[in-house]
Amino acid sequence: MTPDLTNNLVRLRTCVAFLGEKGRHSWWLSTFLSRSGEAFLNPVFPKTSVLARVSGASAAAQVTHDEHIGVGDVFHLFRLPENVEHDISQSLIKDATIIESIGSEDDAYILLQELACGDTMQGIGPLLLDQGEINQSVMRHMAAAYLSGFTNKQAVYPYYRGQA
């Protein structure tokens, strides 16, 4: 996987996890990416608090996505192939600045628009995007689907079918 794709997936995952949390759109009930989550986890994980916060919010989002999509030969933003998950974790450990770029809902919406690159996607609930493997096109479609869902206040769960 290319470094650009890894970086975009980290940004997309963090952005969607942030917007989906309780107190924003409440698609899942975690608050790891809120100010209180930061205050709680920073002293516990001083060197890896960003990884802990994004991982916690992502785990909550993963449960919700799995409930709506199912598990098996399907992947979504919060359940990607193992090698991709590894790359995402390593990227978060190396560069923790992603959270600083998402300080507000407005920042998150701007980032989603940037990641969607002009793509649009409409729908509600589970949305099958493609078959194959994660690539920039699938990532852009995911960003577009989430942008539409958050804008329209209707939960979406974009996924693709593929091989591990």
Model confidence pLDDT, tens digit, residues 77-117: 999 999 999 999 999 888 878 877 888 999 999 999 999 99
Mean pLDDT, range 21-37, rounded to an integer: 90
| Spatial contact of 118 and 33, defined as CB atoms under 8 Å apart | no
The total number of structural domains that make up the chain: 1
Determine the structural domain holding residue 121 and report its residue range.
Answer: 3-159
Whether 164 is covered by a domain: the verdict is: no
Whether 11 is covered by a domain: the verdict is: yes
Q: How many CB atoms lie within 10 A of CB 57?
A: 25
Q: What is the pLDDT of residue 47?
A: 80
Judge residue 36's burial from the number of C-beta atoms within 10 Å of its C-beta, 0-12 exposed, 13-18 middle, 19 or more buried.
exposed
| Tokens (6 digits) for 161 | 């079918």
CA separation for the pair 66, 83 (Å, rounded): 19
Nearest CA among 6, 17, 15, 2 for reference residue 90: 6
Whether 121 is covered by a domain: the verdict is: yes
Model confidence pLDDT, tens digit, residues 117-139: 999 988 999 999 977 889 999 99
pTM, to two decimals: 0.92
